[in-house]
Amino acid sequence: MTKRKPLILVSNDDGITSRGIRALVETMHQIGEVVVVAPNSPQSGMGHAITIGNTLRLDSSIAFETEGIEAYECSGTPADCVKLAKHHVLKNRRPDLVVSGINHGSNSSISVLYSGTMSAAIEAAIEGLPAIGFSLCDYSLTADFSHCLEYVKQIALQVLTSGLPSHVALNVNIPSQTEGPIKGVKICRQAQAKYTENFEKRTDPHGRPYFWMNGEFVDLDKGEDTDMWALNNGYISIVPCGFDMTAYHTLPHLNQWEISTN
């Protein structure tokens, strides 16, 4: 009897034609049956946005030349893609793994909140599906993913073999090839960091004002167990992520409040 190949759903936020998703699809095709549902245009920075009050379109795609790849492009967000994949494309078929990426650019630390890549993985985790978001710390549209694909494959195989706790997604960030050879893998916590934004006021050709956001990423964490430390020291970082945003340590304090409507 032939053993069934694992069913792997692939999505991303850079769009179905990006180099990153092509590299991920080709890698996942080595270990399982691949179905792709990805945005038809870039959706970076969309966070966990979903489409409400507007149409969602889903069309077959020929973006992948590899034989045996079932692929669809969606007009919506990465979270929309995973929802449509589960409830429409796959119907009664349950994915063994959902992978998102490989993103062009880091999604470490606080970036996980803004990331469309991770929103696809988190949406899968909400549905109780094992999920991984992969990101390469290189924002170039022509980024080279070749140095990390064996790591991507091995991490995916580890999840398929060992599983993940329910409602957990892995946030995997990978150093750029320009930073030198990868030293290994570190299981990390999310670093305490933030963006310091600057909004530059400009004027368009019609004389109307608009704003352009820029700024820098500031790591406020001195720990050596964080994703930022791992990346800065040549390691792939893996952070297990959930979606329960309750600040449990504040509950005892808030329960002491006395709020009266009298």
Binding site as annotated, residues for a divalent metal cation: 13-14, 44, 103
Angle at CA of residue 113, ends 107 and 115, nearest 5° = 50
Strand partners, 136: 104, 174
The closest alpha carbon to 171, from 245, 241, 244, 81, belongs to: 241
Q: Let me know: does 103 contact 13? Beta carbons within 8 Å.
A: yes
Q: Let me know: does 74 contact 40? Beta carbons within 8 Å.
A: yes
The closest alpha carbon to 20, from 125, 84, 114, 101, belongs to: 101
Q: Where are the alpha helices (DSSP H) in 89-142?
A: 111-114, 116-126
**Which value, in Å, is the radius of gyration of the alpha carbons in the chain?**
20
Task: For residue 93, give the DSSP letter.
Answer: P
For residue 56, give the amino acid letter.
Answer: L
Binding residues: 13-14, 44, 103
